[in-house]
Structure 1
Amino acid sequence: MAIINFFKGHPSTNLLPSKTIADTYSKVLVNNSDYLEYDNDPNNQHPLAYGTDPGNLEIRQTISDWVNSKYQSNYLNAELINLTAGASYGVANVLASTTLPSITKKAFIVTPTYFLINSSFVDVGLGDDLIAINETAGEEYDIDLVKLKKELKKFGKEDQTEVNIIKNDPRGERKVYQFVLYLVPTFSNPGGITYSVKTRKKLIDLARKYDLLIISDDVYEYLDYANTETITKPIPKLNQLDQETITNKYGNTISNATFSKIIAPGLRVGWQESATSHLVKQLSITGANKSGGTPSQLSTFIVNDLIKTGQLDEIILKFKKIYKERAQTLKESVKKYLPKGTKVYGGDGGYFLWVELPNFVDNEKVIKEVSKKNVILASGEHFEVLGESNKQNWGDHCIRLCISFLSSSEIEKGIKLWGETIDEVSN
């Protein structure tokens, strides 16, 4: 019996645009000789050469134009972009550049959180300084801003924007923040919800007051199921809102974006946006970038061509249509097969839905038993913020379900087996 794995958070292999990517690599490397003129261009380098620190200027401009077209805005330009090797690299890069244990007092992570993010904070010496901030779906704000403000006031000082600027770094001036906050504000992983503009603006106000850097994993924006015939205009990013009313040199936001969710995860290309050029320039000169130039230099050319030819939009629309069908199947199956009182969050975009079971369900036992039927579920315990004081006991009654990896028929079958197992364990 085939394994039905709801834990895997990437597209099923048959959805990946393998031939399109292969053809584009050939086009870039074999059929295009224009890149030879880059030999003497300080802003652009050959696809097989070391890249420039922030990535080729022409490619950053292509990405900028593409993003602006989706947001129906002109907020972004090439000078506000730093190219990365995907979102995971991006978070590590931001933390390495903007935090120091001697200056950064606390790091906040919205919970339930992306299950592999804790290690990035441990790597920069902030593992013992994490504070969980709950998502609060259905309330006035989408995260617990009351607790966030209380903790900021408890551990920090106001008006520190111009204080923690390191002048003696040989690479140039460097801003270190008093606090950092990590979140996934659109079709959140794992919560599945999208934070309102009201929540985003309030967050920016707090960030400016307490010298907080908001690290926003913006990875699912374009996978909005509302309209599968076009790419729906996304809600404004935090850095976009920050830019509109910017009050300081560096800003308080970083959009950490990636093409992993909208092309293929193995391509390893992402980009970072900031509200001002000063912060994104700082991110482009971390140690690894100064040594080897922008990561994934060759793959950035693939992305560039996919955007210019319109193939990227076609790939996204294909994903959206299939994911919408799968999400609908999942929601209908949960309603049909799981106990009355089960709550479902998400399902309007992105990859994930968050399911909260009634209290009578022994979640741990059910997950163990259903795995014997080859159904793999992601228990809520995986999505906790590190530290005993941060524990929310998500594992007691919560599950994250992914719709990108499984077909609609696999999804329904897996939910049915799950529901039957709950009945067996509970009776």
Structure 2
Amino acid sequence: MVLIPLHPSKAKPASASAGPAGTGADKPLVNLLRGWPAPAILPVAQLKMATADVLTDASVVVDSLQYGPDSGFQPLREQLASYLSNIFSKYSVPNDPERICITGGASQNAACILQSFTDPAYTACIWVSAPCYFLMCPIFEDSGFAGRLRAVPEDDEGTDVEALERGFQEFESSPPSEPTYKNNLAPDRKAYRHVVYVVPTSSNPSGSSMTVKRREQLVRLARKYDALLIADDVYDFLQWDVPRADAVLTSKQGSVSLPPPLPRLVDVDRTLPQEDGHETEEDSRRFGNAISNGSFSKIVAPGLRTGWVEATPAFSYGLAQTGSSKSGGAPSQFSAATIAVLMRTGELDRYLQEVARPALQWRHRLLIQAVEEHLSEFLEIKCGGLPKATSSEVTTYGGYFLWLKLRRSDMSAAAISKRAFAKENLIIADGPLFEVKGDEASARFDDHIRLCFAWEDEAKIQEGVERLARVLRNWDEPEDAATALPASDTGAFK
């Protein structure tokens, strides 16, 4: 077993010099909000190799620099189909490129899905699992659903399906008052009555993963009410086993294998039998009720702006007929060719196993230990804590974030965020940021904080927690008006 000390560092932080008492202006910024991969983790050398390969291969270079086919760079579709079939082999995922459509990343693709598979005159609502990835809300609003986003709370198993069904039923007795106006969709596309947005594995911000039972319940519900489940499966390959609390690690591991993955919603939708006596309409059978919205942003680099959808062949083809994709050809054609090389040569898998997962597992451990040492009096870890020494179960965690709940009811996350920035030059994400826009009252998170362990270097993760601890320890002292982080800046931090 690889070993890790419970408290890896008590050394003075590199930027411990303090300015005038009560201010943080002269302290180096520590940003535990930004959900980006750390510069040290980016696969620069691998991308140099792959790019050179594309530009020197006469059989590929012209295609990679031209407009692409609607469904995307075919070699990448083939590589992805094979890779996903292998990773999710337990669920008999077919090796079928027709199930793959290359996209411009998970966010861009969400907009394309809304263009091709919703109609604001027919689609009732966008149902968003809360707490939510907050930057999805403007995408839904821009697609005609402003004021029609509804929060669905999470429980210990994932999205609360009983609450979701109650929401669906509210619209059963009130059919659309207007005729559909997207008459161009059929036969290659359709409008769903409902759209449900979830991050089933290592959700942002909660870090939680939906149970298999809940995934099945969610698919059954989507079939019953003509709903499309958009699953952002962006962290599925960034999972690791969490060593127990009594394990001692002195450094990050050299290699971290991917733990057995959970079935994605698209896998459940493909394999779950239809319920007796319930006949799904032809369009739903053809297009399915769940799609996997994948992205290379977290597993290679965000700047590549490349992702994929896995769905039924009919859905993937219909998505490729979205006007913006057809006009420009497949998005990210050159990036797709570069990524195809990474996959073909095995460099992507090696990078994930030897760089990305070990780094994130280690950073997660450092953050957990720092929180337990400095913040346990004030904050409770909601998901992703260390398994107890007596536990025999293997705990899996993943993603970029740790979700914490305040123990004191007289503190607010928003006020803590403001004071941390003003007094300590520390940026954290307060819970209200992750409330569903327009339906905030249905799922409040003013007593929650999200910390990211992916962006800052290891010393700054520790220092950021120590700065936050100072803010909380001094909370009851008289305080001057704190300077808030401008709301317009938060989008830059993802």
Same fold (TM over 0.5): yes
Question: Match for residue 35 of structure 1?
Answer: 60
Q: Deviations along 1:115-167, whole A, 9 cap, x unmatched?
A: 10101111111111111001112xxx322111101111111379x9xxx9999
Q: 1:259 to 1:389 in 2, by over 3 A?
A: closer
What are the equivalent positions in structure 2 for 1:18-417 lying under 5 Å apart? 18-29=44-55, 31-35=56-60, 46-72=63-89, 73-137=92-156, 141-156=157-172, 169=184, 172-226=187-241, 228-245=255-272, 248-274=285-311, 276-317=312-353, 318-340=355-377, 342-347=379-384, 348-358=397-407, 359-371=409-421, 372-388=423-439, 390-394=441-445, 396-417=446-467
Q: What is the SS of the residue equivalent to 2:133?
A: coil
Contact 1:242 1:251 (C-alpha < 8 Å) held by counterparts: yes
Q: Deviations along 1:373-415, whole A, 9 cap, x unmatched?
A: 1211111111110115545331x21111111102222111111
Which whole-Å CA distance do the structure 2 matches of 1:52 and 1:172 have between them? 20
**CA apart distance, 1:18:** 1.5
Given the two structures, how large is their TM-score scaled by the length of structure 1?
A: 0.91
Q: Deviations along 1:241-274, whole A, 9 cap, x unmatched?
A: 1011365121101111001100000011100011
Return the letter of the residue paired with 2:469: G
**CA apart distance, 1:2:** 2.0
Q: 1:61 to 1:165 in 2, by over 3 A?
A: farther
Q: 1:366 to 1:13 in 2, by over 3 A?
A: same
Q: What is the SS of the residue equivalent to 1:256?
A: strand
**CA apart distance, 1:106:** 1.2
Q: What is the SS of the residue equivalent to 1:180?
A: strand
Contact 1:171 1:285 (C-alpha < 8 Å) held by counterparts: no
Identity %, equivalent residues: 34
**CA apart distance, 1:71:** 1.4
> Which range moves more in the overlay, 335-344 or 287-296?
335-344
Question: Match for residue 41 of structure 1?
Answer: none
Contact 2:75 2:337 (C-alpha < 8 Å) held by counterparts: no
Q: Please tell me the root mean square deviation across aligned C-alpha atoms, in Å.
A: 2.3
Q: 1:388 to 1:59 in 2, by over 3 A?
A: closer
**What is the number of residues matched between the two proteins?**
410
**CA apart distance, 1:293:** 1.0
**CA apart distance, 1:52:** 0.2
Which whole-Å CA distance do the structure 2 matches of 1:168 and 1:110 have between them? 30
Which whole-Å CA distance do the structure 2 matches of 1:13 and 1:178 have between them? 42
**CA apart distance, 1:309:** 0.8
Return the letter of the residue paired with 2:291: I
Which whole-Å CA distance do the structure 1 matches of 2:237 and 2:363 have between them? 17
Please tell me whether residue 3 in structure 1 is matched to residue 29 in structure 2.
yes
Q: 1:349 to 1:388 in 2, by over 3 A?
A: closer
Return the letter of the residue paired with 1:33: A
What are the ranges of 5 or more consecutive residues in structure 1 without an aligned counterpart?
37-44
Structure with the larger RCO, 1 or 2 (CA within 8 Å, 6+ apart): 2
**CA apart distance, 1:75:** 2.8
